[in-house]
Amino acid sequence: MKFLIDNNLSPLLADALKAAGHDAVHLRDLGMQAATDHVVLEHARADERILVSADTDFGGLLARSGASTPSVILIRRLAGRRAAEQAAIILANLDQVAEDLTAGAIVVLHEDSLRVRRLPMPG
């Protein structure tokens, strides 16, 4: 899968996902660390990447826009964990949500649970 890692997460998360065989890039690698949320979403959409973030604003932006892409993995209550632990939780749940992410969804990952909302979402 192709991932875009938001600036509020460590570049080491992109490295861990790459080590697991995925195409992952961090916003800093693209010189986009100061980009607005709208620009980040548009970049993820244009490059067909799943945005991985701890920023809850992306769900609201997608709901208001009525967009069906890009998919977002929202990391909740995991932001204080090390990048390797975050990657392990993403990877452990990826098979279960792969179809949703391909179709367009927001996947909210907690340490011990996940929630999936298909896109487009009602605003």
The total number of residues written for the chain in this structure: 123
Write down the mean pLDDT value for the chain.
93
Residues 6+ apart with CB under 8 A from 111: 77, 78, 89
pLDDT of 105 above 80: yes
63-67, 87-91, 119-123: segment of lowest average pLDDT: 119-123
Q: Which one is predicted more confidently, 123 or 54?
A: 54
For the chain, state the CA radius of gyration.
13
pLDDT at position 121 is 85
Which residue has tokens 């609201």? 60
The phi-psi region of residue 72 (left if phi > 0; otherwise alpha if psi is between -120 and 50; otherwise beta) is: beta
**Average pLDDT of span 68-95:** 89
Identify whether the C-beta of residue 97 lies closer than 8 Å to the C-beta of residue 114.
Answer: yes
The first and second tokens of residue 9, run together, are 């997460």
Percent of the chain whose pLDDT exceeds 90? 83
Measured in whole angstroms, the distance separating CA 4 from the mean position of its chain's CA atoms is: 7
How would you class 17 by CB atoms within 10 Å of its CB: exposed for 0-12, middle for 13-18, buried for 19 or more? buried
pLDDT of 91 above 80: yes
Indicate the Cα dihedral angle 84, 24, 51, 28, nearest 10°: 90
pLDDT at position 122 is 74
pLDDT at position 123 is 58
